[in-house]
């Protein structure tokens, strides 16, 4: 015991710092485009006297985060030393060679220069590079893996991607830096529980804690080999404690004397995923097939079994099942000629469980029968491709019958021609029928006409009628197609102003939302119909009927595709792309207003 005390005293009485030096190291020497690596500049010496290093010159690399600083103190064989580590997160820009030049740190009036490092950068679609001992999943303290439930699917078939985070050391403050971009897919997020459950897995003989950090349902919109880019997260991982040394003078390097945990930043990237998407079969395709993929049922009903002519009622068509509910097309319904139908009100209810996306989509049509009798709507067919069974199928409703009674209005004849009362010319038996044969008695009026209230009533009646006609005509002008377009363009201008304010405030999601609202307003103003209820073919038809420039529609459809990718497919737009979208919308609104004032608007 006395010998141990003397050893401790001797160690404390032998100060002497190691030679100062600055070294550079990276956590991996091979990366893909878009992936990140960590550069650590370590100073060894008296850390209290060193300044933050000057960042080295970078070639084909850019700084994505840092610096993150940590210090430590050691006493080995009577030699005291301290270290300061400065960590930077670097991201690869393009395929080729990346160079990290020498860094410079100032220490007590002299410059310390680090070693240069060369990095190999592969293309984004290249296979995952072999990692070193720190980056290999078998020995890394933390890494991400992605598991698709299938790698081969058809257009519209759901593919579920599960992202798992593996960690063998304590981690803290995980943060998503970049979501995986999935071009060619409609993406629906599957919700995760607020508290992520942890499981234990053994990877290459090492035990890891595992958490599912993201689940996505992907619906392909094109065929071919489609790439899902990596997801990148940033976290901090606890440094491994150094093992106890048998050297008695290595006392203060024992983990017992480390007063707190030390964490270093770490950027993790999931591997990219290539999915093979095949087109839908071209054999046995139903004649009314409109692109629905999944498994569905269809129901249809009136809100009541009978009504009178010119009374409005609601026809509800509900499609329910599993698949991409939001993109389900509108069913084709054969409405009798004597029944007037309006555009539907569309709502959807998405159910997201841990495996499948499903729910229901409801179309509510306001219809008005114009002729009495029994109005019959034939069975409504809804064809779809079922990827589970590998064949086309059709869901069908039963026939719908509506009893229509004669109302108080003129209505329509069963042929669809307006009903008019018919009355022949009556012969009164004489060539001339006198209105009055007895003149009666003439009485002199003793009063002055203007003193009678009826005089003023009859005098004012024509003027009141004239004023009423003027008011009605003005109201019709204000509520006409031209006025509706002008009002819609004013709403578009407000949405664009909101989007431009959000752009200045650095809120890209609000910018895309405002641009999408402005786009819907422009399409509605141009066609006079709600744009969300029109297919692309119907939109092109309405556009042509209004006599508008087809190039303008092509520009707006391109803007719509960019907004949809940013809102629903996880795509991130650059500031330049967002400014281009707003500029295109502003110019389209100006052109539409000019066409409206020059040519008018068709009703």
pLDDT category at 127 given cuts 50, 70, 90 is: low
Q: How far apart, in whole angstroms, are the C-alpha atoms of residue 185 and residue 303?
A: 38
Residue 387 backbone phi and psi in degrees, to 5? -70, -25
The answer, yes or no, to whether residue 249 has pLDDT greater than 70, is: no
Q: Are residues 387 and 305 in the same domain?
A: yes
Q: Which residues contact 120 (CB under 8 A, 6 or more apart)?
A: 29, 30, 31, 97, 98, 129
User: Domain limits at 495?
Assistant: 481-599
What pLDDT does 477 receive?
A: 57
CATH of the domain at 314: 2.60.40.740
455 in any annotated domain: no
**Within a domain: 118:** no
Say yes or no to pLDDT of 459 above 90. no
Regarding whether 390 and 304 lie in a shared domain, the answer is yes
- Whether residue 230 is contained in a domain is answered as yes
For the chain, what is the domain count? 4
Question: For 283, which DSSP code?
Answer: S
Most confident of 152-161, 483-492, 534-543, 590-599: 152-161
Distance CA 56, CA 42 (A): 14
Residues 270 and 302 in one domain: no
In a shared domain, residues 273 and 295: no
Does a structural domain hold residue 519?
Answer: yes
User: Which of 375, 405, 435 is the last residue before a domain boundary?
Assistant: 405
Q: Are residues 392 and 326 in the same domain?
A: yes
Q: Tell me, what CATH number does 579's domain have?
A: 1.20.120
Q: Which two structure tokens, joined as six digits, stand for 554?
A: 């092509």
Burial (0-12, 13-18, 19+ Cβ within 10 Å), 156? buried
Q: Which has the closest alpha carbon to 530: 364, 342, 367, 348?
A: 342
The CA-based dihedral angle spanning residues 292, 560, 229, 145, taken in that order and rounded to the nearest 10 degrees: -60
In a domain, 432, yes or no: no
Is 473 within the bounds of a domain? Answer: no
What's the CATH code of the domain at 242? 2.60.40
Residues 360 and 274 placed together within one structural domain of the fold: no
Among 405, 426, 443, the domain boundary falls at 405
pLDDT tens sequence across 263-293: 788 888 888 889 999 999 999 999 889 999 9
Q: What are phi and psi of 573, to 5 degrees?
A: -95, 140
E-strand stretches of 239-377: 263-269, 273-278, 294-302, 306-308, 313-323, 339-341, 345-352, 357-369, 373-377
**Among the ranges given (24-28, 114-118, 531-535), the one the predictor scored with the smallest mean pLDDT:** 531-535
* CB atoms inside a 10 Å sphere around CB 159: 22
Which one of 364, 385, 405 terminates a domain? Answer: 405
Q: What is the CA radius of gyration of the chain?
A: 39
With respect to residue 440, please indicate whether it lies within any of the assigned structural domains. Answer: no
Indicate the helix (H) or strand (E) that contains 259.
none
In this structure, are 302 and 272 located in the same domain?
no
Place 10 in a pLDDT band, splitting at 50, 70 and 90. Answer: very low
Say if residue 428's pLDDT is above 60.
no
- Residues 487 and 499: beta-carbon distance below 8 Å: no
Are 494 and 589 contained in the same domain? yes
Do 310 and 400 belong together in one domain? yes
| Same-domain status, 45 and 64 | yes
207 plus 228 within the same structural domain: yes
Residue 545: other Cβ atoms inside 10 A: 11
Helix/strand/coil (H/E/C) assignment for every residue in 321-357: EEECHHHCCCCCCCCCCCEEECCCEEEEEEEECCCCE
Instruction: Compute the average pLDDT of residues 501-505.
Output: 78
In sequence order, what are the beta bridge partners of 72?
A: 83
Instruction: Tell me the CA distances in angstroms from 300 to 17, 132, 376, 565, one per residue in order.
Output: 85, 62, 13, 33
| 581 in a structural domain | yes
**Domain shared by 485 and 589, yes or no:** yes
Residue 380 contacts residue 331 (beta carbons within 8 Å):
yes
pLDDT tens for 56-93 read: 888 888 887 777 777 766 655 555 567 777 888 888 88
Mean pLDDT of the chain: 77
């Amino acid at each position: 015991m006395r010998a141990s005390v003397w050893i401790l005293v001797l160690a404390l009485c032998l100060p002497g710092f190691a030679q100062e030096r600055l070294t550079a190291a990276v956590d991996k020497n091979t990366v893909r485009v878009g992936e990140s690596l960590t550069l650590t500049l370590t100073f060894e010496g008296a850390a209290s006297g060193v300044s933050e290093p000057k960042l080295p010159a970078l070639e084909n690399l850019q700084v994505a985060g840092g610096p993150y600083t940590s210090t430590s103190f050691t006493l080995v064989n009577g030699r005291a030393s301290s270290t300061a580590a400065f960590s930077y997160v670097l991201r690869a820009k393009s395929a080729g060679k990346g160079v990290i030049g020498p860094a410079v740190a100032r220490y007590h009036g002299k410059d310390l220069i680090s070693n240069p490092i060369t990095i190999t950068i592969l293309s984004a679609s290249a296979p995952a590079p072999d990692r070193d001992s720190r980056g290999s999943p078998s020995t890394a303290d933390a890494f991400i893996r992605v598991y698709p439930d299938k790698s081969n699917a058809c257009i519209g078939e759901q593919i579920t991607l599960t992202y798992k985070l593996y960690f063998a050391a304590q981690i803290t403050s995980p943060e998503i830096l970049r979501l995986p971009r999935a071009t060619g897919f409609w993406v629906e997020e599957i919700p995760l529980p607020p508290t992520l459950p942890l499981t234990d897995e053994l990877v290459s003989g090492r035990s890891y804690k595992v958490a599912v950090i993201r689940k996505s349902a992907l619906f392909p919109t094109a065929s071919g080999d489609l790439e899902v880019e990596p997801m990148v997260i940033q976290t901090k991982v606890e440094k491994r404690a150094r093992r106890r040394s048998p050297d008695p003078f290595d006392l203060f390097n024992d983990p017992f004397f480390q007063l707190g945990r030390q964490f270093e930043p770490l950027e993790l990237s999931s591997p990219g995923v290539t999915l093979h998407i095949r087109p839908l079969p071209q054999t046995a395709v139903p004649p009314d097939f409109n692109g629905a993929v999944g498994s569905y049922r269809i129901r249809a009903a009136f809100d009541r079994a009978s009504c009178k002519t010119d009374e409005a009622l609601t026809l509800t068509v509900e499609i329910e099942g599993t698949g991409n509910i939001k993109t389900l097309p509108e069913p084709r319904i054969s409405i009798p000629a004597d029944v007037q139908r309006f555009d539907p009100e569309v709502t959807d209810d998405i159910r997201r469980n841990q495996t499948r996306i499903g729910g229901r989509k409801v179309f509510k049509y306001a219809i008005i029968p114009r002729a009495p009798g029994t109005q019959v709507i034939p069975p409504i067919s809804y064809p779809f491709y079922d990827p589970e069974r590998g064949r086309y199928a059709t869901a069908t409703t039963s026939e719908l019958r509506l009893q229509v009674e004669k109302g108080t209005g003129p209505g329509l004849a069963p042929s669809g021609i307006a009903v008019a009362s018919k009355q022949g010319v009556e012969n009164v038996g004489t060539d001339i029928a006198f209105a009055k044969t007895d003149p009666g008695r003439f009485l002199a009026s003793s009063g002055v006409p203007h003193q009678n209230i009826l005089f003023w009533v009859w005098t004012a009646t024509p003027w009141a009628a004239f004023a009423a006609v003027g008011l009605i005509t003005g109201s019709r002008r204000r509520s006409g197609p031209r006025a509706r377009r002008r009002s819609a363009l004013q709403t578009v201008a407000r949405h664009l102003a909101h989007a431009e304010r959000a752009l200045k405030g650095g809120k890209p999601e609000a910018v895309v939302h405002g641009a999408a609202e402005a786009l819907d307003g422009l399409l509605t103003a141009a066609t006079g119909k709600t744009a969300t209820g029109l297919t692309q073919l119907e939109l092109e038809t309405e556009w042509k009927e209004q006599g508008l420039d087809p190039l303008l529609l092509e520009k707006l459809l391109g803007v719509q595709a960019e907004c949809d990718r940013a809102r629903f497919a996880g795509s991130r737009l650059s500031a330049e792309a967002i400014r281009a979208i707003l500029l295109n919308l502003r110019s389209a609104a100006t052109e539409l207003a000019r066409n409206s004032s020059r040519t008018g608007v068709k009703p």
